Amino acid sequence: MTLPRLIGALALAALIASPAVAGPQGESLDPPPPASLRLAAAGAGVPPGQLDAAQRATLQRVNAYFNSIQNVTANFEQVGPDGSRAVGKLYLSRPGKIRFQYAPPSPLEIVADGSSVSVKNRKLATQELWPLSQTPLRFLLQQNVDLTRNANVLGVYQEPEMVSVVLEEKNAIGGKAQIQLMFSGKDYELAQWTVTDAQGMETSVMLSDVTAQAKLDDNLFKIVQQRWPVQRRP
């Protein structure tokens, strides 16, 4: 998996940490079908900047949902475009901080400390540092989330059983990315999401055992530079 898809998918995983994301008895949700099928099923979209009053109200509920998230832990399962799966533990402290601790055999670790994102690969003995502002974390890890102002909303699709919000992130690493969030049509609880990168490759993320915490150890979000070569990205 390329770095842009990895960060794009997992950035969202962190930001939607809520017990509503888990399935019954905490089981993982099944991966969503391809984005093209989901959008077709949801009906015709609304051009950017032409959302109606009901759709704008939906976005306000989504904003409120994200802004209610503070300190959480969760298990995550990531499904790549080739069907490969990876699991691990995430720690989130809004605003600005997140840690993805992959379970073996994955050699990866991703940490955001509020200004930078560190991506370590223990197998390759490499570490890359990216400005937080150049990842999809940019507009969702901020203090106050407002998708109507800080994101390019491509459409809001509404059905009795599902609400789907599609965003485009033009400043994502590796080019623009499309993000689709799917919520329950009844109570607006987030169910699942998919990130599609500039090459059209899709990565889906599901959470389970999500738990709100009063406080998380700040050391979880400390970026430690290894003795390996460190590549600082623009």
How would you classify the pairing of strands 230-232 and 126-131? Answer: parallel
Q: Structural domains in the chain? A: 3-232 (2.50.20.10)
- Could you tell me which residues come within 8 angstroms of residue 29 by beta carbon, excluding any fewer than 6 positions away? 21, 22, 23, 191, 192, 206
- Which residues, listed in sequence order, are joined to residue 196 by a DSSP beta bridge? 178, 202
**Cα separation of 176 and 75, whole Å?**
27
**Cα separation of 153 and 151, whole Å?**
6
First to last CA, the chain: 21
Cβ atoms within 10 Å, residue 165: 23
**Cα separation of 5 and 196, whole Å?**
8
pLDDT at 17: 34
Kindly report the average pLDDT of the chain as a whole number: 74
Per-residue confidence in pLDDT tens, the chain, 234 aa: 455 555 555 555 444 333 333 333 333 333 344 343 344 334 344 554 678 888 888 888 888 877 888 898 888 888 888 888 889 998 989 899 989 899 999 888 989 999 998 988 888 898 888 888 777 677 678 888 888 887 788 888 878 888 888 888 765 555 677 888 877 777 666 667 788 877 788 888 777 777 889 999 999 999 998 777 677 766
Whole-prediction pTM: 0.71
